[in-house]
Amino acid sequence: MSERFITSAELLSTTGGERLRLVYVEVEGGADFHCLSFERLESQGWRLVSVITKERFQEDCAHRRWIAGLHSFSPGRGSAIIQVAEGDIPEGSFSSVRYLYSWRRWNLIENREIAILKRCESPFDPL
């Protein structure tokens, strides 16, 4: 069985020359975060500038987390405002986990948080 990828959200720069795609992979009963892809349009089509895979995003974080949404991005700065879902206990703990959502400014090139902008009451809280 081949994997089926779904673009969950996509942002285009004001010039249309750059885009940020939030990609999920279809799983039984839903979809899981796969990657965040920053791309630039060239004469041959879209070229990858940077990609943050599920594994890269999880690096150095003991709590399970994923990118749940996109708000905006600045291609010139290589940053974006993303919504992050993160467990409140370390992954693998023998306790129930609650997922907390927040809006964060993220460096797309270095895969690092720049700032937490808002902690959400629910996954549907806007920035």
Residue 52, domain extent: 5-119
User: Per-residue pLDDT for the chain (127 aa), expressed as one digit of tens each?
Assistant: 578 999 999 999 999 999 999 999 999 889 999 999 999 999 999 999 999 999 999 998 999 999 999 999 999 999 999 999 999 988 878 888 899 999 999 999 999 999 999 999 999 999 9
Domain-located, residue 103: yes
Domain-located, residue 38: yes
Domain-located, residue 51: yes
Alpha-carbon Rg for the chain, nearest whole angstrom, is 15
CA 59 to chain centre: 13
Domain count of the fold of the chain: 1
